[in-house]
Chain A
């Protein structure tokens, strides 16, 4: 995010006159609303806000936000965003991508924007399927996913976007899901982070991968399977009756029962968003045996790419005036007299 002047807007100000073309019931609608709800809350200025996307269902997103928007090519949104931000660091850049766009064809760019730490928000809508191409398995699809290109079930193992992001050097990693009421808070935290903020948003593709996240993301009744991680607070879930603790002998996380809210007695770990080792364990926490780790899993800022580029520039041009005549005649030259 930028140090910017706060502007007063409402949700309506962030809606465009374009007809939204997602399937009825698609999780993208909820995410769009969450973003449009967040933008006024963070005081975003439409003229300085740019949404950049790749290709896929999620990448239609910029057309529906009343700001500047660039719907680019498959997988390359981070590269376009890098050019935008370096050319004008005043702009507040949001990247919208999906599991196919950001983890498959554009995996390379996702890695590099994170390691460089360009100041931007990267929302990866993960629906574990290729939606716009009609339902093939994606790099995040679970083993055995049956799809038009894997009728017997997919045989490739899925990648974990958050683990990938952490391995690439990301300094902010968060998770949310489409219909979650807490999604705007996650987005706000991402925006407050100076540097590349990576947010995996589980999104329900109701046509090709319906309810694949139902166990933790169902609108009702799945709360017990959600581990919301809050900085400085114990890692509790299931209404505070269970918690996550460190099993010291094996150096792994384990689930412990919490009796009478005494999480300390149960040995529940306290979340620390600056603890990289904990972040590694949380992003790798297998869903099923464990609840889904959600919220801000890691948040430890360091200098941004565009800041470093500006510093390097200042150093390299110190004392140099832009003299075109001098540049033209540079090097060893000689004069022919008339």
Chain B
């Protein structure tokens, strides 16, 4: 069965030539349907075709949620085009719905007039019930806003893989490849890289490789046949005119892992990574474990606390200690962070934020750990915090975190989030030579008059790094307040005041080593500044671009160094009449800005587990701009 209206329009942002500038496609299915895999491979083929792109994987917290349920739907959205793409797109132009639950939870996001491709093979009474449909949406007019291409993908897949002798269940697992084949045909993509990937993935089970390839080819062939009979059209999205060079796709977790390795290399140090499994941070551990030739030691600890403590132990012994987690795990690490602050040892802590509090929304994104990062420890416990804005930006941020940690003998938090960690984007591979090394020197001899002063500070307030194993420099450190210079236990009133002040001053001095805040779009003063941090960069940037195109006096400021804030940020913000701070939390950075600069920063908050859409930001900008 195929119900398709005649005047379908896939590409709302079509150019004069009729080719769309950008298209948003969302694959949605049961969490066992392999949607993330389909999306990932479609992403790769899209990158290879030369489009710019951004993705948004959105999956449930359950590994195998009960089949067919609304909460078990897994989706993968990709926005790709011939222009600069910075968000995963607001509303899809094309939705692939593999079952009734996927249709129900995703179809309302589809643009009016968009195309929905449906597998009717899954529209059984049982699945319709599970998706809480009283009447099949294929049989009433509830889908009339959209173009519907509904046919039995399940049956077509079983047919295509018949020659390979798979059981019904295994045959149906090839459905995602069939669908991918159709998508590859629709967007004029090469099948070869996917075929190569399937052959290597199923190298030990060639019959599965062949079956999946057959399904892929069948889906592709279906497109051609269907086109002949009229219902769907092939669409070619031009490649982006990109800067020449070598490109790859990169997820945030990959970029952070490589960045940490690069940072340690620039510091001339081996790297020790202590981790404990947690969504969505585990991917960093999985990546680093494969990079041991760079002097990486990975340690899967018994808990989050042991992970950070072991990393601090390694830093004490002269390596670059790194730990990573997500909100709940970061909370557990709080006391140990205080010890790293107190003993003034370098450490990088990566926080892949997710919805909270408590277990919250393990697989959904949020920026609500900013307070925890800046303030969330006992005592006056200052710590530099930097935030990545995109998967590729996470690479540079990781290097920067390593630099600050070793140059200032301090723990540093690198904030990322589930969105950045999992999402992929094309990345122009940098030349390692473009980064300035920041080699570490350890203290080798006594730095006082014939005695060791482990806490003697330099002009930036930084103490020396002394490795156990160094002759004549034996000394003791710990979490108890310590005397100026000597580090001996001393909690007399003057000493605690002096050392607290010194720790704060040292962290503030980090701002002297970081660039002044720039304005990434628009003027350096004016009516409205939209100030963002972290993964909201993409939608804010596009919204400001669109608002400026409409003539509004609005600028986009994106802050990487969220603590200490850039030295010029206060003055810069005071040059605008109004300041808007969109965040995926309830207004945390807004409060920091108000506190630090006494400015009337206005919040725009969203904590639905979904990123901002460009449209909602545009509306807020227009409202505040007036």
Whether the pair A79, B468 counts as a contact (CB closer than 8 A) is no
Residues of A within 8 A of B473 (CB): 47
A329 to B158, CA, bound (A): 38
Q: State which of B44-52, B62-70, B520-528, B536-544 sits at the interface with chain A.
A: B44-52
Whether the pair B313, A69 counts as a contact (CB closer than 8 A) is no
**A47, A52, A68, A322 — which one has the most chain B CB atoms within 10 A of its CB?**
A68
Closest chain-A Cβ to B237's Cβ sits at a distance in Å of 16
CB proximity to A under 8 Å, residues B470-490: 470-480, 488-489
Whether the pair B305, A68 counts as a contact (CB closer than 8 A) is no
Residues of B within 8 A of A328 (CB): 258, 262, 429-430, 432
**B242, B262, B472, B478 — which one has the most chain A CB atoms within 10 A of its CB?**
B478
Closest to A69 in B: B476
Residues of B within 8 A of A88 (CB): 317-318, 467-469
Task: Name the contact of B336 in the complex, choosing from A46, A73, A336, A337 (C-beta under 8 A).
Answer: A73
Closest to A316 in B: B292
Residues of B within 8 A of A111 (CB): 302
Residues of A within 8 A of B303 (CB): 108
Task: Name the contact of B245 in the complex, choosing from A18, A74, A317, A336 (C-beta under 8 A).
Answer: A336
B310 interface contact, C-beta 8 A: yes
B1 interface contact, C-beta 8 A: no
Q: State which of B21-29, B293-301, B408-416, B558-566 sits at the interface with chain A.
A: B293-301
A337 to B311, CA, bound (A): 43
Residues of A within 8 A of B262 (CB): 324, 328
Whether the pair B474, A80 counts as a contact (CB closer than 8 A) is no
Closest chain-B Cβ to A211's Cβ sits at a distance in Å of 30
Whether the pair A86, B477 counts as a contact (CB closer than 8 A) is no
Whether the pair B468, A84 counts as a contact (CB closer than 8 A) is yes
Annotate B445-467 by CB proximity to A: 1 below 8 A, 0 otherwise.
Answer: 00000000000000000000001
Whether the pair B479, A71 counts as a contact (CB closer than 8 A) is yes
A79 to B477, CA, bound (A): 16
CB proximity to B under 8 Å, residues A51-85: 52, 55, 62-63, 66-74, 76, 78-85
A202 to B261, CA, bound (A): 46
Asked if A91 meets B291 with Cβ closer than 8 Å, knowing A71-B477, A324-B262, A337-B244, the reply is no
Closest chain-B Cβ to A324's Cβ sits at a distance in Å of 4
CB proximity to B under 8 Å, residues A201-251: none
Closest to A67 in B: B474
CB proximity to A under 8 Å, residues B333-369: 335-336, 338-339, 343
| B contacts with A, residue count (CB < 8 A) | 73
B193 interface contact, C-beta 8 A: yes
Whether the pair A87, B245 counts as a contact (CB closer than 8 A) is no
Residues of B within 8 A of A78 (CB): 306
B391 interface contact, C-beta 8 A: no
Whether the pair B312, A83 counts as a contact (CB closer than 8 A) is yes
Whether the pair A320, B293 counts as a contact (CB closer than 8 A) is yes
B126 interface contact, C-beta 8 A: no
Closest chain-B Cβ to A60's Cβ sits at a distance in Å of 9
Task: Name the contact of A76 in the complex, choosing from B294, B309, B474 (C-beta under 8 A).
Answer: B309
Task: Name the contact of B294 in the complex, choosing from A48, A79, A322 (C-beta under 8 A).
Answer: A322
A150 to B170, CA, bound (A): 62
A300 to B274, CA, bound (A): 29
Residues of A within 8 A of B431 (CB): 325
Task: Name the contact of B265 in the complex, choosing from A72, A82, A324 (C-beta under 8 A).
Answer: A324
Task: Name the contact of A325 in the complex, choosing from B297, B302, B432 (C-beta under 8 A).
Answer: B432
Residues of B within 8 A of A313 (CB): 292, 297
Whether the pair A50, B294 counts as a contact (CB closer than 8 A) is no
Asked if A86 meets B248 with Cβ closer than 8 Å, knowing A62-B476, A327-B261, the reply is no
A5 interface contact, C-beta 8 A: no
B390 interface contact, C-beta 8 A: no
A133 interface contact, C-beta 8 A: no
Residues of A within 8 A of B470 (CB): 47
B38 interface contact, C-beta 8 A: no
Closest to A82 in B: B310
Whether the pair A332, B48 counts as a contact (CB closer than 8 A) is yes
A322 to B432, CA, bound (A): 13
Closest chain-A Cβ to B37's Cβ sits at a distance in Å of 15
Residues of B within 8 A of A82 (CB): 299, 301, 306, 310, 313
**A73, A112, A313, A334 — which one has the most chain B CB atoms within 10 A of its CB?**
A334
Whether the pair A336, B244 counts as a contact (CB closer than 8 A) is yes
Closest to B301 in A: A79
Closest chain-B Cβ to A79's Cβ sits at a distance in Å of 4
A119 to B45, CA, bound (A): 50
A86 to B489, CA, bound (A): 28
**A18, A63, A78, A328 — which one has the most chain B CB atoms within 10 A of its CB?**
A328
Whether the pair A87, B318 counts as a contact (CB closer than 8 A) is yes
Whether the pair A329, B248 counts as a contact (CB closer than 8 A) is yes
B316 interface contact, C-beta 8 A: yes
Annotate B240-257 by CB proximity to A: 1 below 8 A, 0 otherwise.
Answer: 001111111110001000
Whether the pair B261, A91 counts as a contact (CB closer than 8 A) is no
Residues of A within 8 A of B254 (CB): 331
Residues of B within 8 A of A79 (CB): 301-302, 305-307, 309-310, 313
Task: Name the contact of A87 in the complex, choosing from B270, B477, B479 (C-beta under 8 A).
Answer: B270
Whether the pair A71, B432 counts as a contact (CB closer than 8 A) is no
Closest chain-A Cβ to B420's Cβ sits at a distance in Å of 18
Whether the pair B243, A80 counts as a contact (CB closer than 8 A) is no
Whether the pair B306, A72 counts as a contact (CB closer than 8 A) is no
CB proximity to A under 8 Å, residues B404-431: 429-431
**B265, B430, B479 — which one has the most chain A CB atoms within 10 A of its CB?**
B479
Residues of B within 8 A of A47 (CB): 468-474
Whether the pair A324, B432 counts as a contact (CB closer than 8 A) is yes
Residues of A within 8 A of B475 (CB): 68-69
Residues of B within 8 A of A322 (CB): 265, 293-295
CB proximity to B under 8 Å, residues A289-338: 309, 313, 316-317, 320-322, 324-325, 327-338
A16 to B314, CA, bound (A): 24
Closest to B339 in A: A73
A270 to B290, CA, bound (A): 50
A88 to B506, CA, bound (A): 29
Residues of B within 8 A of A254 (CB): none
Whether the pair A73, B479 counts as a contact (CB closer than 8 A) is yes
Task: Name the contact of A331 in the complex, choosing from B249, B318, B432 (C-beta under 8 A).
Answer: B249
A328 to B245, CA, bound (A): 13
Closest chain-B Cβ to A99's Cβ sits at a distance in Å of 19
A142 interface contact, C-beta 8 A: no
A109 interface contact, C-beta 8 A: yes
A277 to B290, CA, bound (A): 41
A158 to B316, CA, bound (A): 35
Whether the pair A87, B242 counts as a contact (CB closer than 8 A) is no
Whether the pair B335, A84 counts as a contact (CB closer than 8 A) is no
**Residues of A that sit less than 8 Å from B by CB:** 16, 18, 46-48, 50, 52, 55, 62-63, 66-74, 76, 78-88, 90-91, 108-109, 111-112, 309, 313, 316-317, 320-322, 324-325, 327-338
Given A63-B476, A68-B474, A111-B302, 17 additional A-B pairs, CB 8 A: A62-B476, A72-B479, A73-B336, A79-B309, A80-B316, A82-B306, A87-B313, A87-B319, A90-B469, A109-B302, A316-B292, A328-B258, A331-B250, A332-B48, A333-B246, A335-B245, A336-B242
Closest 8 CB pairs of A and B: A83-B313, A71-B478, A338-B244, A79-B309, A83-B310, A87-B317, A69-B476, A79-B306
**27 A–B contacts from the bound complex (CB under 8 Å):** A18-B489, A69-B474, A69-B475, A70-B478, A71-B480, A72-B312, A72-B339, A72-B479, A79-B305, A79-B313, A80-B309, A80-B313, A82-B299, A83-B315, A83-B316, A87-B317, A109-B302, A316-B292, A322-B293, A322-B295, A325-B432, A327-B258, A332-B249, A333-B248, A334-B247, A335-B245, A336-B243
